[in-house]
Amino acid sequence: MIQTTSVENYLKTIFHHAGIGNNAVTTNEIAASLGTKAASVTEMLKKLSAQKLIRYKKYNGVTLTDSGTKQALLIVRKHRLWEYFLVEKLEFSWDEIHEVAEQLEHIQSEILVERLDSFLENPKFDPHGDPIPDKKGIIKKTDLQKLIDVTEKKEAIVNLVTDQPELLRYLSKIGISIGSKLRVIERNTFDQSMLLLINGKNKVQISAEIAHNISVQL
Amino acid sequence: MIQTTSVENYLKTIFHHAGIGNNAVTTNEIAASLGTKAASVTEMLKKLSAQKLIRYKKYNGVTLTDSGTKQALLIVRKHRLWEYFLVEKLEFSWDEIHEVAEQLEHIQSEILVERLDSFLENPKFDPHGDPIPDKKGIIKKTDLQKLIDVTEKKEAIVNLVTDQPELLRYLSKIGISIGSKLRVIERNTFDQSMLLLINGKNKVQISAEIAHNISVQL
DNA sequence: ATATATTTTTAGGCAAACCTAAATTTTATT
DNA sequence: AATAAAATTTAGGTTTGCCTAAAAATATAT
């Protein structure tokens, strides 16, 4: 089904805020991200829900359905391919591409996307290093890295955790789950323990032992 | 001023129907061309007029102002540059480009257009042979041809007529003026006279004598 | 646990761009 | 010139996506 530009922007925003774990996204987050008001978001969420693009329960935030995720991925694909085009072919610099790619991503033409992809020789990453989903919406997994190897100040997304029940229980207690965004604030050079900021909110100190068992994607 | 896609489409349509002579364009012509209803067109014409993009007098059709013409030319420029891109770089065939170029022409970014132009090495004609206006909206005049030299079935636009009062009077009587679209339906091989279709409406037979004195643009 | 603050939803409106049906103006025909 | 036909405009609606203000639900703090 062909969507309006507005619907596409909502799907894309929800997709980005949900992260890898497909966490629920709140009305206010969406409003802030799109520069609209919460009331407008609520209204649109009902429409998206009616189209089965999201799962929506009043006051509970939303998650993308498979269908919604697929559509979001195709928009992301288009956005990143156009960004690649702008930088590689039209000599745009990083700071100039966003606004234009935001427009180009809404052009409706499957054949255009595929021809562009071929013309660009099927790039796997956009100029920011973000992976470009393929035509089926599949993102090539970037190489995972152990959290212990992440340098200071960097932001990483939890992708995989060694399957040890105690560890998993502990992590959930301190608020880390698949998809959580971690920023390494500080590393203790003595014991290699690290101070993390979780999802931009809570600070937690974890031991090197634990950092060894968490895989992240940068 | 940044316009809506709809306003841009109206300007483009009026531009194309007005032809070289910037003739008045009727409400119905616009409606037919855009696939909307006459009532909707009237409404929009008021808006365009308020913005001084067209000259509009009730029941009298419209003409583009200089400002309106300039904006129309920039849309035409974008349309034709994108068409060139689609054919030359993405290997689209003629019949596939229209729909996509209709969308791409509305992308708002001056820098994008200029970079695209450079990337394509400043093409002067699109894949249909139509001239691409430059960034100031100036169209390089295509070489004029005498109507007598136009081959059968071709469509041509009247660009210049030898300045002979009798001829001009005669032509106006049979409905030919600067900007008229002529299609050569048939040529009489005996006397070189030709049967023309004028603006897709009236058929007229003209002598070789007259055809010698009309210059057209293909 | 209750009061306060925040978030989300509902209700009622607005602008753009479209529509149909009816009224008006212009054009064509006899 | 009067009438019929065609073109155009007006009047009153619809849909999409946004808004503000008020109400309801949830979260936070004492």
Q: How many CB pairs under 8 A join A and B?
A: 40
Q: Given 1.10.10.10, 3.20.20.70, 1.10.443.10, 3.50.50.60, which CATH number is that of A5-64? A: 1.10.10.10
Contacts of A58 (CB under 8 A, 6+ apart): none
Q: What is the pLDDT of residue B83?
A: 95
More confident residue, A176 or B23: B23
CA distances from B80 to A135, A218, B16, B62 (A): 28, 41, 13, 25
- In chain B, residues with a C-beta closer than 8 Å to the C-beta of A96 are 111
Q: Which nucleotides on strand C sit less than 7 A from a protein beta carbon?
A: 7-12, 16-22, 25-26
| Identity of the amino acid at B83 | E
Q: Answer yes or no: is pLDDT of B179 > 80.
A: no
More confident residue, B207 or B105: B105
The distance of A92 to chain B (nearest Cα, Å) reads: 8
Q: What is the pLDDT of residue A163?
A: 60
Over range A159-184, report the average pLDDT: 75
More confident residue, A78 or B210: A78
Q: What is the pLDDT of residue B163?
A: 59
| Identity of the amino acid at B41 | V
What tokens appear for A188 in the block?
């203790």
What pairs with residue B203 in β-bridges? Answer: B197
Contacts of A217 (CB under 8 A, 6+ apart): A20, A141, A142, A144, A145, A156, A157, A159
Contacts of A103 (CB under 8 A, 6+ apart): B107, B108, B109
What tokens appear for B211 in the block?
């055809």
Q: Which residues touch strand C (CB under 7 A)?
A: A 26-29, 38-39, 41-43, 45-46, 56, 58-61; B 4-7, 34-37, 39-40, 43-44, 47, 58-59
User: What's the N-to-C CA distance of chain B in angstroms?
Assistant: 33
The answer to whether A4 and A50 have CB atoms below 8 angstroms apart is no
Q: Cα angle vertex B129, ends B65, B1, to 5°?
A: 30
Closest Cα partner for A75 from A94, A102, A42, A48?
A: A102
Q: What is the pLDDT of residue B164?
A: 63
Q: Determine whether the distance from the CB of A67 to the nearest atom of strand D is below 7 Å.
A: no
Q: What is the pLDDT of residue B217?
A: 79
Q: Determine whether the distance from the CB of B201 to the nearest atom of strand D is below 7 Å.
A: no
Q: Give per-residue burial for A160-175: e unless 16+ CB within 10 Å, then b.
A: ebeeeeeeeeebeeee
What pairs with residue B161 in β-bridges? Answer: B214
The answer to whether B184 and B154 have CB atoms below 8 angstroms apart is yes
**Strands B181-187, B194-198: parallel, antiparallel or unpaired by DSSP?**
antiparallel
CA distances from B88 to A26, A104, B74, B76 (A): 45, 19, 21, 18
Over range B183-193, report the average pLDDT: 85
Residue pLDDT, tens place only, B56-93: 999 999 999 999 999 999 999 999 999 999 999 999 98
Can B5-64 and B145-217 be said to share one CATH topology? no
C1' (D19) to CA (A44) span, angstroms: 14
What tokens appear for B112 in the block?
């994008």
Over range A8-33, report the average pLDDT: 94
Angle, helices B66-88/B94-104, rounded to nearest 10 degrees:
130
Q: Determine whether the distance from the CB of A46 to the nearest atom of strand D is below 7 Å.
A: no
SS3 B214: strand
Over range A171-195, report the average pLDDT: 83
Please indicate whether, in this complex, the C-beta atoms of B100 and A107 are within 8 angstroms of each other. Answer: yes
Nearest amino-acid residue to C24, taking CA and C1' = B59
Partner A, chain B 94-113, Cβ-Cβ below 8 Å: 96, 99-100, 103-104, 107-109, 111-112
The answer to whether B47 and B7 have CB atoms below 8 angstroms apart is yes
Q: Determine whether the distance from the CB of A44 to the nearest atom of strand D is below 7 Å.
A: yes
* Chain A interface, best mutation among B2, B4, B90, B110, by max A CB count within 10 A: B90
Angle, helices A66-88/A110-119, rounded to nearest 10 degrees:
40
Delimit the domains of chain B by residue range: 5-64, 145-217
What value of ipTM does the predicted structure carry? Answer: 0.78
What pairs with residue A184 in β-bridges? Answer: A196
CA distance B55 to B22: 11
Query: What DSSP assignment string belongs to B12-74?
Result: HHHHHHHTTTT--B-HHHHHHHHT--HHHHHHHHHHHHHTTSEEE-TTS-EEE-HHHHHHHHH
pLDDT band with cut points at 50, 70 and 90 for residue A43: very high
Over range B168-186, report the average pLDDT: 80
Q: What is the pLDDT of residue A55?
A: 98
Secondary structure, 3-state, B99-165: HHHHHHCCCCCHHHHHHHHHHCCCCCECCCCCECCCCCCCCCCCCCEEHHHCCCCCEEEEEEECCCH
Partner B, chain A 37-96, Cβ-Cβ below 8 Å: 86, 89-92, 96
CA distance B31 to B72: 17
Secondary structure, 3-state, chain A: CCCCHHHHHHHHHHHHHHCCCCCCECHHHHHHHHCCCHHHHHHHHHHHHHCCCEEECCCCCEEECHHHHHHHHHHHHHHHHHHHHHHHCCCCCHHHHHHHHHHHCCCCCHHHHHHHHHHCCCCCECCCCCECCCCCCCCCCCCCEEHHHCCCCCEEEEEEECCCHHHHHHHHHHCCCCCCEEEEEEECCCCCCEEEEECCCEEEEECHHHHCCEEEEC
The answer to whether A109 and B99 have CB atoms below 8 angstroms apart is yes
pLDDT band with cut points at 50, 70 and 90 for residue A129: low
Please indicate whether, in this complex, the C-beta atoms of A109 and B100 are within 8 angstroms of each other. Answer: yes
Residue that the structure tokens 């679209």 belong to: B181
More confident residue, B206 or B153: B206
C1' (C5) to CA (A29) span, angstroms: 18
Closest CA in chain A for residue B89: A119
Q: What is the mean pLDDT of chain B?
A: 89
B145-217: CATH architecture: Roll (2.30)
